[in-house]
Amino acid sequence: GQGGNLAVEDAVVLAHHFDDLAAYTAARLPRATALTRRAVRGARVNMTGTRAGAAVRDALVTAVSRTVPGALLRGFDGVADWRPPQPPYAAVRAGRTPAARGNEHG
């Protein structure tokens, strides 16, 4: 889930900031904090402790899905649209840019 996605993102950004871990922390902490808070809010809604709460939640999700198609997917805006820093610095440092890789076989 989100934790696994953050781990992949962290690896890419960490490769970019390998020489400056303070910059890595500054680059990742705001997003990691925001996604953690979002996950906690989602868990509060999804993990209701009562059958009545679950019934209300399920009815609301069904109603929203039918009346506003795509509304629930918009909840992933800012989560699934992350892009790595450009250019892919780890590849550039190692001399493995896309252009260089294309020349390896030619």
What tens digit of pLDDT does each residue of 42-73 get?
888 888 889 999 999 999 989 988 999 888 88
Residue 100 corresponds to which tokens in the numbers above? Answer: 């260089």
Q: Which domain holds residue 60?
A: 2-104
Residue 66 corresponds to which tokens in the numbers above? Answer: 């039918």
Smallest Cα–Cα separation from 87: which of 96, 78, 79?
A: 96
Sign of the Cα pseudo-torsion (70, 71, 73, 77, in order): positive
- Domain count within the chain: 1
CB 84 within 8 A of CB 13: yes
Confidence of residue 106 (pLDDT cuts 50, 70, 90): very low
Sign of the Cα pseudo-torsion (18, 22, 26, 28, in order): positive
With a threshold of 0.75, does the pTM exceed it?
A: no
